[in-house]
Amino acid sequence: MSDEHCNNMGPVMDATPEIQQLSDIPEIKHAAIHALHKKHHENHVHHFSEEHREKHIANWKVTKYAEEDVAYGINYFMKVSIGDGLFIHIRVHQQQHHK
């Protein structure tokens, strides 16, 4: 398992169309937004509404990413803009046979 001192992560790069396409897979995008809204609801932080959810999905845009080679594929670490100056960070694993 990697940590901040011992990992195979490459440099942080600007997003590419391929990375954006990977992040746009509905299961990835909707799961990330759902997790964000659930966490904020549980902690009573921002009081996101359904209108916010739709706005976050519509504004979804990867700005930066890095790759880490792991045993069975690649981990992509992405910084995603969801509008209004808000960003989330997600990790997406792509199995080796999907490359």
Instruction: Select from 65, 66, 72 the least CA-distant residue to 9.
Output: 66
pLDDT, average across residues 79-83: 97
What pLDDT digit, counting tens, does each position of 55-78 carry?
999 999 999 999 999 988 999 999
16-58 pLDDT tens trace? 999 999 999 999 999 999 998 888 777 666 677 888 889 999 9
Q: Is the per-residue pLDDT at 80 higher than 90?
A: yes
Q: Is the pTM of this model over 0.85?
A: no
Q: CB neighbours (10 Å) of residue 76? A: 19
* Residue 81 confidence (pLDDT) above 90: yes
